Structure 1
Amino acid sequence: MSGLITPMALRVAVTLGLPDRLRDNPATARELAPELEVDPLALDLLLAHLTTLGVAERTASGYRTTDFGALLGAGAGNGLNNLLHHDSAAGRADLAFVDLVHSVRTGEPAYPVRYGQDFWTDLAGQRHLRDAFDQQMTDRMRNWVPQIVRNYDWSRFGTLVDVGGGHGSLLAAILTANPAMRGHLVELEDTAAGARAVLGLYGLGGRTEVTGGSFFDPLPTGGDAYLLFDVLHDWDDEQAHRILARCAEAGDRVLVVESLGESTEFDLVMLVHFGGRDRGLHDFERLASAHGLKLESVTQVTGGRSLLEFTR
């Protein structure tokens, strides 16, 4: 439980591209080292441990990625490569766990201690991190979207405003299943451009609008419901109040989809990365009440997510 060696070995293997590089073309550490610009002896030590783990295997031609190790490849379709790579949003953020003691002592994120600025500022300044984060969110949603669409009556709303809706995969699925609905997605401009493309691929351009902007700024008015999916847990109470205030001033119904504090591990991730946390039901009621919003219903929409419906 206390060992750091194997988790870091897997992350370095992904960062160096070893699972993909060695999938169909076995090579020795000495052959690979110049190509990857690494030390051959150190690389051999890493590959030996990856062999112990079953991620790689020795052949007459050198090391080769196993079928198990191929699950770490960029094209494996499970999102692991994006989560573990040192230069992706999630992989980079996880390295801040070396400063967990700072977060525990102060209640503040550890990310700025390691990188000199907060997570969101880092994403704003490095497009590849923003793209990796957007892909991470899309990967997370893949298995949840059908459940969310099925387990809640979205047809009650004429227009749904998805606040911080990423590339729009959830909004697209909701609108596809409910042809009478319209949608409006709000996201930072770089991500909003991707959302326009995704919604267009679904043939929803005529029923959707995408606004580039922050949920800390005034939101488009006229929506029947304002959806915050996995947004509030990224923020401390002060910032969560600001987001809810914007939703409440734009409309009379706010839909909050979150985990209700069911994962202790995820709580620490939110703390270290963002200074946020999962919250319990009463925490959300307390936050919402400050903006004239009262809890109307709670609906479990996935195995780990509940939809809290608040009305003015």
Structure 2
Amino acid sequence: MASAAPKVPPLPLVRFLTRVRDGLAALQRRMVPGHIALLELSTVGYLTQAACAAAELGIADALAEGPRQPADLARAIGVNEDALRRLMRLLISGGVFTQRRDGAYQQTGISEGLRSDAAVSLRDLFRLLGSDLHRKHWTTLPESVRRGRSLWPETEGMEFFEYAEQHPEAGELFDRAMTSVGSLATEPIQAAYDFGRYGSIVDIGGGRGSLLLDILRRHPSMRGTVFDLPRVVESLPEQLLGPGLTGRLTFESGSFFDSVPKGGDAYLLKHIIHDWNDEDAERILRTVRTAMESEARLLIIDVVMPENQRPHPGKVIDLEMLVQTPGGRERTQTEFGNLLSRAGFVLTRVVPTVAHVSVIEAHPSW
């Protein structure tokens, strides 16, 4: 029997608790001298890199079956025992792992997410964040701010997406990392938005189709199409087609700048529009509009940037877009509305979720 879907907490409760947490953090920073608060801020990146190392070394996978003594764990993952102890000391102090009284290392609820086989695994995301390539490009942030754009053409001779095409290993890691990030929002999205009113959904730039697969499994009469680049789509049928999906799930390849499949009741764009500047985003949306019937709906799943000064994950992701993409950015509701209007749509509503994303619904204006 399949396990029950995790319960999603009410959005007002999540917002309240988030504000309390952020308020306490801000109060703590105000209660110490500014240079001390700044020094504490500098250490956050070190803990992140330690977690990235743990992901790359497979520490959480090695602890999946139970606690292990340091020497045993070091042998299992092929590392120096003394260096492992030093790495784990920082990770334990940050709550990522724990250590029993007998000295054995043990998983926590946090480290479970670094396991390859976790229900929601972030191992590939942390491997990406800790990679030489990702760190290299974040060192260009000051110059990206000066110029207002990514420096990929100067550093690699091409834009990021072209690089991912030409370097399959990097592209594969990126695809897996984005799938893992997307899985965080799947249940919140399903809880917030009713996909059951559509007979068919076309997932544009759908990657491995994780959200679409989840939607189809919950709605047995629905049909779906995953549309993405040939390198992404070519191996998907043998990976994804299984009981209950054969005949309901199809795959098409191409570029969303040229054309997309016709005939869908809804067109899904998850984490696509934020990768592009306004001109290219409008081109993508116009291509989708051309394929849509007047009754069809456009569903953009992306961050909707708050118009306030409080902490929000989108503010981090927005800088990632600046550093890594050819003009990508996160947008406010007003900016989405203007973009959609220029592309031939009317913004119907924005449905927030308890995750960092919202569902932006629009219908054709002509």
Q: Could you say which TM-score interval applies, normalised by the shorter chain?
A: 0.7 to 0.9
In 1, distance between residues paired with 2:46 and 2:335?
A: 38
- Cα deviation, residue 240, structure 1: 0.8
How do residues 126-205 of structure 1 correspond to structure 2 at under 5 angstroms?
126-205=167-246
Question: Is 1:236 aligned to 2:288, yes or no?
Answer: no
Q: Deviations over 1:246-274 (max 9, x none)?
A: 10111144221221114211211222221
Whether the 8 Å contact between 2:125 and 2:178 is mirrored in structure 1 is: no
Q: Deviations over 1:148-176 (max 9, x none)?
A: 33433334333221101121222222233
- Cα deviation, residue 21, structure 1: 5.9
* Higher mean displacement: 178-187 or 134-143: 134-143
* Higher mean displacement: 252-261 or 242-251: 252-261
* Higher mean displacement: 163-172 or 144-153: 144-153
In 2, distance between residues paired with 1:10 and 1:140?
A: 16
Q: 1:208 aligns with which of 246, 249, 253?
A: 249
Question: Is 1:305 aligned to 2:343, yes or no?
Answer: no
How many equivalent residue pairs? 301
Stretches of structure 1 that go unaligned for 5 or more consecutive residues are none
Whether the 8 Å contact between 1:163 and 1:187 is mirrored in structure 2 is: yes
Question: Could you state the TM-score of these two structures normalised by the residue count of structure 2?
Answer: 0.69
Partner of 2:88: 50
Give the 3-state SS of the residue equivalent to 1:132 in structure 2: helix
Seen in structure 2, the aligned counterparts of structure 1 residues 114 and 66 have a Cα distance that, compared at 3 Å, is: farther
In 2, distance between residues paired with 1:301 and 1:53?
A: 30
Seen in structure 2, the aligned counterparts of structure 1 residues 93 and 226 have a Cα distance that, compared at 3 Å, is: farther
- Cα deviation, residue 224, structure 1: 2.4
Give the 3-state SS of the residue equivalent to 1:201 in structure 2: coil
Over aligned residue pairs, what C-alpha RMSD do you find?
3.4
Seen in structure 2, the aligned counterparts of structure 1 residues 128 and 307 have a Cα distance that, compared at 3 Å, is: same
**Equivalent position amino acid for 1:259 in 2:** V
Partner of 1:287: 339
Question: Is 1:268 aligned to 2:319, yes or no?
Answer: yes
Seen in structure 2, the aligned counterparts of structure 1 residues 73 and 65 have a Cα distance that, compared at 3 Å, is: farther
* Higher mean displacement: 281-290 or 69-78: 69-78
Seen in structure 2, the aligned counterparts of structure 1 residues 49 and 166 have a Cα distance that, compared at 3 Å, is: closer
Seen in structure 2, the aligned counterparts of structure 1 residues 6 and 248 have a Cα distance that, compared at 3 Å, is: same
Give the 3-state SS of the residue equivalent to 1:105 in structure 2: helix
Give the 3-state SS of the residue equivalent to 2:330 in structure 1: coil
Seen in structure 2, the aligned counterparts of structure 1 residues 167 and 19 have a Cα distance that, compared at 3 Å, is: closer
**Equivalent position amino acid for 1:200 in 2:** L
In 1, distance between residues paired with 2:352 and 2:243?
A: 27
In 2, distance between residues paired with 1:158 and 1:76?
A: 31
Partner of 1:254: 298
* Higher mean displacement: 202-211 or 63-72: 63-72
Percent pairwise identity: 32
Give the 3-state SS of the residue equivalent to 2:71 in structure 1: coil
Partner of 2:159: 118
Seen in structure 2, the aligned counterparts of structure 1 residues 164 and 310 have a Cα distance that, compared at 3 Å, is: same
Q: Deviations over 1:73-123 (max 9, x none)?
A: 5445543321222xx478455412111102211121245555443321222
Seen in structure 2, the aligned counterparts of structure 1 residues 15 and 215 have a Cα distance that, compared at 3 Å, is: same
In 2, distance between residues paired with 1:19 and 1:177?
A: 31
Q: Deviations over 1:204-239 (max 9, x none)?
A: 221222102221221122222221112101112122
In 1, distance between residues paired with 2:192 and 2:47?
A: 39
Whether the 8 Å contact between 1:93 and 1:111 is mirrored in structure 2 is: no
